[in-house]
Amino acid sequence: MPEIKFSVVLRMAVLLLSILLVPACQTLPASTANTNKSLQKAGNPAGADSWRVIDFARLPTLDDIIDALADKRIIFIGESHERYDHHLGQLEIIKRLHARNPDLVIGLEQIQQPFQQALDDYIAGRIDETTMLRNTEYYDRWKFDYRLYRPIFLYARQHHIPLLALNVSREITQAVGKGGIKALSAEQREQIPTSIDRNVAGYRDRIESVFGQHPGMEKRSIDNFVEAQLIWDEGMAEAAAAYLREHPENTMVILAGAGHIMEGTGIPQRLQRRTNLPMATVLQLGSGIELAADTADYILLPKEQVLPPAGLIGVILLPADHGMKINSFSDDSRAREAGLRVGDKLVEINGSPIERFSDVRLGLWNRKPGDHVTLGILRGDGDGAKRLDFEVILK
């Protein structure tokens, strides 16, 4: 993995003239903008002397701020889930913090609380990665390419750093999103925090601003949507607080989407309410954030990096009564070249059973172009169906 250098934006009143001027891997002080918008609208009405400019050559780096971060008990590091460089930035901070204090724990939005045992088993070496992904139902519940997070998981396992499942179960947030907290069963209510602060300044406004960006949200109640986000944020804060109370020697790094961290109104203020511990927030540009005084304590400017391509079998799949039915092929499908046909049902990949699409992702997550896989299929229907195996070279 290439070494990554970041610069950091600190909290200060400065004027960002152009993001385009920022060299790769630099960082800006978090309180920098909203001024960028006013510049575009007003030009320079007060003259050049009224402008305050960032000197990018003097921006601080991670080396400059790591001591300040290491003094905190809780460090939030936000992400755009699909940005590989954001996860490499998270890992870099984790490495530097761990070098100063081995009593570290990593809190994960990406894994839901009922699956904590799978994380414990993975860190302890009792199960491998594929089993951990299966036991956490990762591809059913989180769905983003696990390879984005893999360097963090591997580092945690290598150094025996606990991984903490922070997220509430999907069943709860979906139920609240549809019918509000009142729609939860008695059993589900026992799984959500009893303390919920609905009056955090700016929280509802921020949630409402993204309400229409979610497909189908216009058919749902904005009140239910806000309640679902509240359960999400309060639930993660409650899980983190409980761990910190039981492990007063640990420093916690929390990895979550930028929306749960920016301006502190999501998880940070709710965790502060429960613990009153010193904390810091770190965000990364490219996650839909604005450079403003209250955005975060630090903002990283990472150089964008992408994952290497994954191995593909080149089929379009639909659910079937058993396995996944091949509906069509990509133009350059290796599966079609190997002899598979439209209508075949994919039932195994390298001996692992396939019942739904997440099983396909699980069977291929660590495969690269050029790898060979054995696909088990059923051809035909009923008693006349034949079981066949095909070796396919991934594209």
Confidence band of 291 (pLDDT split at 50, 70, 90): confident
Residue 306 belongs to some domain of the structure? no
322: domain CATH number? 2.30.42.10
19 and 94 belong to one structural domain: yes
Q: Is the pLDDT of residue 42 over 90?
A: no
Task: Find the distance separating the first CA and the last CA of the chain, reported in whole Å.
Answer: 23
Q: Is 145 inside any structural domain?
A: yes
State the Cα–Cα distance between residues 15 and 44, nearest whole angstrom: 12
Predicted structure pTM score = 0.87
The upper half-sphere exposure of residue 333, i.e. CA atoms within 13 Å in the direction of its Cβ, equals: 19
Determine the pLDDT at residue 372.
Answer: 97
Residues in the chain: 395
Assigned domain for 190 exists: no
Inter-residue long-range contacts of 174-181, CB under 8 Å, 24+ positions, other chains counted: 174/228, 176/224, 176/227, 176/228, 176/231, 177/220, 177/224, 177/225, 177/227, 177/228, 178/220, 178/224, 179/224, 180/221, 180/223, 180/224, 180/227, 181/227, 181/231
| pLDDT the model gives residue 253 | 98
- Give the model's pLDDT for residue 172: 96
8 Å CB contact between 377 and 385? no
157 and 71 inside one domain:
yes
Rg value, the chain, Cα: 24
pLDDT score at 52? 53
Query: What pLDDT shows up at residue 28?
Result: 44
CA distance 246 to 164: 13
Asked if 167 contacts 113 with a C-beta cutoff of 8 angstroms, the reply is yes
CA separation for the pair 191, 169 (Å, rounded):
9
Question: What is the total count of domains within the chain?
Answer: 2
202 within a domain of the structure (yes/no): no
pLDDT digit string, tens, across residues 141-192: 999 999 999 999 999 999 999 999 999 999 999 999 999 999 999 999 999 9
pLDDT digits (tens, 9 = 90+) for 325-360: 999 999 999 999 999 999 999 999 999 999 999 999
Residue 12 belongs to domain with CATH number: 3.40.50.11550
Q: Which domain holds residue 133?
A: 8-169+207-300
Question: What was the pLDDT predicted at 213?
Answer: 60
- Average pLDDT of the segment spanning 309-326: 96
- pLDDT tier at 285 (50, 70, 90 boundaries)? confident
Residues 45 and 109 in one domain: yes
- Cβ count within 10 A of residue 46: 9
